[in-house]
Structure 1
Amino acid sequence: MPRRFWGVRRLLKMPLTEAGDQYSVWVGLIYIFNLIVGTGALTLPAAFARAGWGLSTISLLFLAFMSFLNATYVIETMACANAVFKWKRLQSIKRESIQEHESDEEQSTSQNNHGDLEEPLVCGDTIPSRYYSLDRRVELGEMANLFFNKMGRTMFYCSLCIYLYGDLSIYSAAVAKSIMDVVCTQIPANMSTPSMDELPCFNVTSSDPTAYTRLDTYRVALLTFVAAMGPFVFFNVQKTKYLQLFTSSMRWLAFTIMISMAIHLLIGRGPQGHPPAFDVTGMPTLFGACVYSFMCHHSLPGLITPIRGKSHLGLHLSLNYALIAVFYLLLAFTGAFAFSKLNDLYTLNFIPSNNENIFLEIVEYFLALFPVFTLSTSFPIIAITLRNNLQSLFLDTTRLESYNFVLRKILFPIITVVPPVLLTYFLEDISILIEFTGSYAGTGIQYFIPTFLVVSARRHCTNLLGLGVINKYKSPFSHVAWAVFVLLWSAMCIVLVSVHFFEKKS
């Protein structure tokens, strides 16, 4: 075999992740499970009750399937990106080999070799099948740069930035509301709930117009939270393994307690909530909550790449989604029937009361402050991700250091944090924030972008490698009809949500 092909085989066999950084497929699925089952799940019980238990069950299962479908698109596109990088590296090795032997070869032979470099590879050897792999981590932004034109890249970064802005807004509002409900006096169950700017914080029976209101407390908590977490956006903070383990353990402890307490209430006093079977007016909120709750696509590459043994990744991922759907149904069903009135953030139904049982009171305080613990660790990470994507959208990242210090280090961190703070300062309704973020930006990240990426990647790799090279990570939903179905479904959902918005305004 010619020497120049030794490097080819070595390149195609060589894993691009270090053994020490890898983990088993089950550990990877646990990470994906923890990524999906986050704070978005806390909005499901209220949305579930509004849309009705029958419609909500059907919708949640269907949206879980749609999320899984597009997750397979992300995996396939990632394998295509790996193939493109390997092909480019192969061409570089060939060119170096040709240059080394150019002085000893005839000019005609050299020209033939140069012509072969740009020809697509054909199916006739076992080497091409090794092009498609998941060895190298390729983020969504890199995929967009590879397979989208300038317009597509701009749309991608705009969708991602809007989604991250929505994330920061939801995080800020959730933390501020949780602190407000813990600090302020509990509202009696038999009392009609006026707006936050009318209800005093410490004495709900007071009618003094100068009293400190719940809205005042909410805004003070919001500004305090942003003042504490916002400065991290000026630096580079990475999520550590121990931080992930801590937040995951807190999350699972909280979810287990909430489900257990809801089941205990159902057994002890019977169903207090009576949601209808079907209520289409609650569908937009449910759609936004479900899309937001199944969001993982923007972070899949970083979790999938270190997994060892990816041969049955699609099957394992489908089982993961099925388990998450069952978990969501259990959380939503128990909450919808255990409480007569559900808050937009489910943990607010466990506000501490004057309980004689000290252990139960500690548990209630833990649940009420649960969003504060988890979101405070996630807020800086999301903010830094948004800052980096804003820089990628407006600046040339290959020469980032050449830009003005104020522009790089001051301006972009400020425009990252200030808009979410202004929005949540005047709009504290989490359901509206989730409805908008999940329905519009979430639809773009979860549906539109993976679908357009996989269609563009298939065409690009076919032109580059030839028709005979098979992608073993190809989505089982590879027929073009599935892509058309996803796009039509997404467009229909956006139209319905938009109509709902206009009806609420009128």
Structure 2
Amino acid sequence: MLRRLLGVRRLFRMPITETGDQYSVWVGLIYIFNLIVGTGALTLPAAFARAGWGLSTISLLFLAFMSFMNATYVIETLACANAVFKWKRLQFIKRNSIQEHESDEEPSSSQHHYGELEDPLVCGDSIPSRYYSLDKRVELGEMANLFLNKGGRTMFYCTLCVYLYGDLSIYSAAVAKSMMDIVCSTVPANVSNTTDWDALPCFNVSSTAPDAYTRLDCYRVALLTFFAVTGPFIFSDVQKTKYLQLFTSGMRWLAFAIMISMAIYLLCVRGPQGTPPAFDFTGMPTLFGACVYSFMCHHSLPGLISPIRAKSRLGLHLALDYALISIFYLLLAFTGAFAFAKLSDLYTLNFVPTDNENIFLEIVEYFLALFPVFTLSTSFPIIAITLRNNLQSLFLDTTRLESYNIILRKLLFPIITVAPPLLLTYFLEDIGILIKFTGSYAGTGIQYLMPTFLVVSARRHCTNLLGLGVVNKYKSPFSHIAWAVFVLLWSFMCIILVSVNIFEKNS
């Protein structure tokens, strides 16, 4: 009996981790910052100016709040999943202990031991309070398997795979096109159709040689190079990208600082050139379309949070991360909206210098042109690892993952993760339709609908399993059911706004 109780207490004292090396909370916040702040931020200034500075400010802060609320839902559900796995392990210990007593004692005394066994596992102050933790990495797919019914699981995996495969395709195509634009000569203004773009020579647009190296060839070489560089990270865990994350985080901050500083300088020298209105509701669908990626991180939160060492004030740190990102977005959008009379849809195009003899400005031009490469090269491995882990949870039993063949675990699933985006973007460089569908409908499902359904089901499941006396210390501050209803109503509003935006662009 004493050995069993010591084993139970040791179970709660030792974190159940499958995350490898751990890192500090600040490194984890850098990971989340890098995942959220991508090239979607470069479309904010133009949308900000169209919708008006007042309406855009309110909308952006509201979207940040909604995203943070659903991030707390993901964290709470992750803690619930950890509690369920610990409860199952305790039940396993109980069954083994009962079987040992039944083999050693008479039937009457074994019943007595069973009664003794129940109380320390479900009562008391020390053990139940440790049910809930964030130590074990449980991907969203595993949470769906635990807490959703068959229809909910099917809907979840369809939405997640569409979104993540779409994200990987968009990111790889954007990086390859950015590299192609830097390497190749400028396209003449009179070239507009896709056929001419594919056939244009890369290094000399006036050349008509049949064996000339085309822009499409350059795009494909850049695409293969990108997969060759980022591909090895997909075979490991997210912790292995630590130094890549830190480096590109510095590049990202530098790029934002350059754009904001140059816009402020232009405001001081020339005065405000742009005159955006305060409120223009006709620009609201476009603004939402630009913001759909701006605060997305929920699909990868479990893999980023679990390796963090100190999680006692995780909610506060995450709120600070969201506040910092919101300040960046507002500063970038405000300075751009007033510094330029006409804003390009991609903000970096406003900083192309007219005087190429200025070496400093030319360096800045190339650096800002590489901004999508810096940002997306960081996010790509995280999203790919997230998709790989969720595919494993769909087809394999994650509780005994190490028992599967190493080729199946370490080789097959990473290949399944990267092969579809590579093939799609290699043969189809124009993925505009995929961007609209992925970022709008699937993005709304991943950011709003799925976290809400998961947390409501997880609360009910854990209450039935553990009772009301076991408190989840990682419970979301937005735990009232009214908040969940509000998120669902907002999700339907988002779908309407996205549909209006797509319709306006196609008409």
TM-score range, shorter chain: 0.7 to 0.9
Q: Is the 8 A contact 1:121 1:465 kept in 2?
A: no
Q: Is the 8 A contact 2:43 2:346 kept in 1?
A: yes
**CA displacement at 1:73 relative to structure 2:** 0.5
Q: Is the 8 A contact 2:98 2:110 kept in 1?
A: yes
Q: 2:315 aligns to what?
A: 314
Q: 1:147 aligns to what?
A: 147
Q: 2:44 aligns to what?
A: 44
Per-residue Cα deviation, 1:125-173 (whole angstroms, up to 9, x for no partner): 4321111112222222221222122322222222122112332333244
Decide which moves more: 485-494 or 362-371: 362-371
Q: 2:419 aligns to what?
A: 414
What is the aligned residue count?
492
**CA displacement at 1:461 relative to structure 2:** 0.6
Q: 1:250 aligns to what?
A: 251
Q: 2:90 aligns to what?
A: 90
Q: Tell me the secondary structure at the aligned position of residue 292 of structure 2.
A: helix
How far apart, CA to CA, are the structure 2 residues paired with 1:395 and 1:14? 26
Decide which moves more: 473-482 or 233-242: 233-242
Q: 1:236 aligns to what?
A: 235
Distance 1:80 1:280, change over 3 A: same
Tell me which amino acid in the other structure corresponds to 2:166: G
Q: Is the 8 A contact 1:292 1:434 kept in 2?
A: no
Q: 1:58 aligns to what?
A: 58
Decide which moves more: 6-15 or 386-395: 386-395
Q: 1:337 aligns to what?
A: 338
How far apart, CA to CA, are the structure 2 residues paired with 1:181 and 1:7? 61
**CA displacement at 1:123 relative to structure 2:** 5.1
**CA displacement at 1:406 relative to structure 2:** 12
Q: 2:7 aligns to what?
A: 7
**CA displacement at 1:62 relative to structure 2:** 0.2
Q: Is the 8 A contact 1:174 1:345 kept in 2?
A: no
How far apart, CA to CA, are the structure 2 residues paired with 1:419 and 1:112? 64
Unaligned runs of 5+ in 1: none
Decide which moves more: 175-184 or 222-231: 175-184
**CA displacement at 1:67 relative to structure 2:** 0.6
Distance 1:407 1:373, change over 3 A: closer
Distance 1:269 1:185, change over 3 A: farther
Q: Tell me the secondary structure at the aligned position of residue 354 of structure 1.
A: coil
How far apart, CA to CA, are the structure 2 residues paired with 1:98 and 1:261? 72
Decide which moves more: 248-257 or 12-21: 12-21
Decide which moves more: 274-283 or 87-96: 274-283
Per-residue Cα deviation, 1:236-275 (whole angstroms, up to 9, x for no partner): 2554322222211211111111111111112122223333
Q: 2:272 aligns to what?
A: 271
How far apart, CA to CA, are the structure 2 residues paired with 1:129 and 1:456? 21
With the length of structure 2 as denominator, give the TM-score of the two structures.
0.84
Q: Is the 8 A contact 1:233 1:387 kept in 2?
A: no
Q: Tell me the secondary structure at the aligned position of residue 137 of structure 1.
A: coil
Distance 1:28 1:169, change over 3 A: closer
**CA displacement at 1:43 relative to structure 2:** 2.3
How far apart, CA to CA, are the structure 1 residues paired with 2:24 and 2:417? 38
Q: 1:468 aligns to what?
A: 469
**CA displacement at 1:68 relative to structure 2:** 0.6
Q: Is the 8 A contact 1:285 1:435 kept in 2?
A: no
Aligned pairs (5 A) from 1:24-423: 24-111=24-111, 124-179=124-179, 181-182=181-182, 217=215, 219-230=216-227, 236=235, 239-351=240-352, 353-376=354-377, 378-379=379-380, 382-383=383-384, 385-386=386-387, 389=390, 393=394, 413-423=418-428
Per-residue Cα deviation, 1:288-334 (whole angstroms, up to 9, x for no partner): 33231111112222232233442322222222212211111001111
How far apart, CA to CA, are the structure 2 residues paired with 1:3 and 1:99? 15
**CA displacement at 1:66 relative to structure 2:** 0.3
Tell me which amino acid in the other structure corresponds to 1:222: Y
How far apart, CA to CA, are the structure 2 residues paired with 1:492 and 1:71? 19
**CA displacement at 1:69 relative to structure 2:** 0.4
Q: Tell me the secondary structure at the aligned position of residue 80 of structure 1.
A: helix
Tell me which amino acid in the other structure corresponds to 1:75: I
Per-residue Cα deviation, 1:479-505 (whole angstroms, up to 9, x for no partner): 111111101110121023223433544
Unaligned runs of 5+ in 2: none
**CA displacement at 1:460 relative to structure 2:** 0.9
How far apart, CA to CA, are the structure 2 residues paired with 1:51 and 1:496? 13
Decide which moves more: 288-297 or 72-81: 288-297
Tell me whether 1:426 sits opposite 2:427 in the alignment. no
How far apart, CA to CA, are the structure 2 residues paired with 1:433 and 1:43? 17
Tell me which amino acid in the other structure corresponds to 2:235: N
Q: Is the 8 A contact 2:303 2:386 kept in 1?
A: no
Aligned pairs (5 A) from 1:431-470: 435-470=436-471
Decide which moves more: 65-74 or 142-151: 142-151
With the length of structure 1 as denominator, give the TM-score of the two structures.
0.84
How far apart, CA to CA, are the structure 1 residues paired with 2:437 and 2:24? 37
Give identity over the alignment, percent.
Answer: 75
Distance 1:164 1:209, change over 3 A: same
How far apart, CA to CA, are the structure 1 residues paired with 2:138 and 2:69? 19
Q: Tell me the secondary structure at the aligned position of residue 475 of structure 1.
A: coil
How far apart, CA to CA, are the structure 2 residues paired with 1:179 and 1:330? 28
Distance 1:19 1:477, change over 3 A: closer
RMSD across aligned C-alpha pairs, in angstroms? 3.8
